[in-house]
A = this chain, B = another copy of it.
Amino acid sequence: MEPPEFTLTAGPTMASHRVLQALGSPIIFDYDPVFLEHFRDTERKLAEVMRTDGDVVLMQGEAVLGLEAAARGLVRPGLRALNLVSGVYAAWFGDWLRAYGADVIEHTVPYDEAIDTADVARLLDDNDGIELVALVHSETPSGVENPLAEIGPLAHRHGALMLADIVSSLAGADVRIDDWHVDLAVAGPQKCLAGPPGMSLISVSERAWQAMADNPTAPRGSFLSLLDWKHTWIDGGRVAFPYTPSVSDVNGVNAALSEVLDSGGVDASVARHALAARATRAGVRGLGLELWPKSDDYAANCVTAVRAPEGIDIPSTLLHIRDRYGVMLSGGYGDLKEKLFRLGHMGPASRSLNPLVAVGAFGRGLADLGADVNVGAGTEAVLAVLSEAHAGEAARA
Q: Which residues of A contact B (CB under 8 A)?
A: 1-7, 9, 11-15, 17, 20-35, 37, 60-62, 64-65, 68, 95-96, 99, 190, 196-198, 221-224, 243-249, 252, 263, 319, 322-328, 330, 348, 351-354, 356-357, 360-361, 363-364, 367-368, 375-377, 379-380, 382-384, 386-387, 391-392, 395-396
Contact of A248 among B11, B34, B248 (CB under 8 A): B248
A319 to B392, CA, bound (A): 11
Contact B20 A26 (CB under 8 A): yes
Shortest Cβ distance from residue A213 to the other chain B in the assembled complex, whole angstroms: 19
Known contacts A24-B23, A395-B324; A353 and B357 CB within 8 A of each other: yes
Contact A196 B27 (CB under 8 A): yes
A20 to B25, CA, bound (A): 6
Contact A28 B325 (CB under 8 A): no
Contact A244 B62 (CB under 8 A): yes
A22 nearest CB neighbor, chain B only: B24
15 A-B residue pairs with CB within 8 Å: A4-B28, A6-B353, A12-B27, A12-B30, A17-B25, A17-B26, A29-B330, A31-B330, A33-B322, A61-B223, A197-B245, A198-B246, A248-B252, A375-B383, A376-B379
A244 nearest CB neighbor, chain B only: B62
Known contacts A28-B328, A243-B62, A326-B351; A2 and B263 CB within 8 A of each other: yes
A239 to B28, CA, bound (A): 34
Contact of A395 among B12, B244, B325, B396 (CB under 8 A): B325
Contact B190 A1 (CB under 8 A): no
Give every chain B residue within 8 A of A60 (Cβ-Cβ): 60-62, 65, 198
A64 to B244, CA, bound (A): 8
Give every chain B residue within 8 A of A323 (Cβ-Cβ): 392, 396
Shortest Cβ distance from residue A383 to the other chain B in the assembled complex, whole angstroms: 4
Contact B244 A190 (CB under 8 A): yes
A326 to B386, CA, bound (A): 11
A299 to B249, CA, bound (A): 32
Give every chain B residue within 8 A of A357 (Cβ-Cβ): 352-353, 356-357
Contact B2 A29 (CB under 8 A): no
Contact of A14 among B27, B348, B351 (CB under 8 A): B27
A371 to B17, CA, bound (A): 35
Contact of A387 among B7, B249, B324 (CB under 8 A): B324
Please provide the 4 A-B residue pairs with the shortest distance between their CB atoms, ordered closest to farther.
A24-B24, A326-B352, A198-B246, A376-B380
Contact B64 A223 (CB under 8 A): yes
A322 to B198, CA, bound (A): 30
Known contacts A64-B223, A249-B248, A324-B395; A15 and B27 CB within 8 A of each other: yes
Contact B326 A65 (CB under 8 A): no
Shortest Cβ distance from residue A16 to the other chain B in the assembled complex, whole angstroms: 10
Give every chain B residue within 8 A of A95 (Cβ-Cβ): 221
Give every chain B residue within 8 A of A21 (Cβ-Cβ): 21, 24-25
A368 to B1, CA, bound (A): 40
Give every chain B residue within 8 A of A327 (Cβ-Cβ): 352-353
A285 to B222, CA, bound (A): 39
Contact of A7 among B23, B28, B222 (CB under 8 A): B28
Contact B1 A33 (CB under 8 A): yes
Shortest Cβ distance from residue A241 to the other chain B in the assembled complex, whole angstroms: 10
Contact A386 B324 (CB under 8 A): yes
A368 to B5, CA, bound (A): 28
Known contacts A221-B95, A377-B376; A32 and B4 CB within 8 A of each other: yes
Contact of A27 among B13, B34, B222, B382 (CB under 8 A): B13
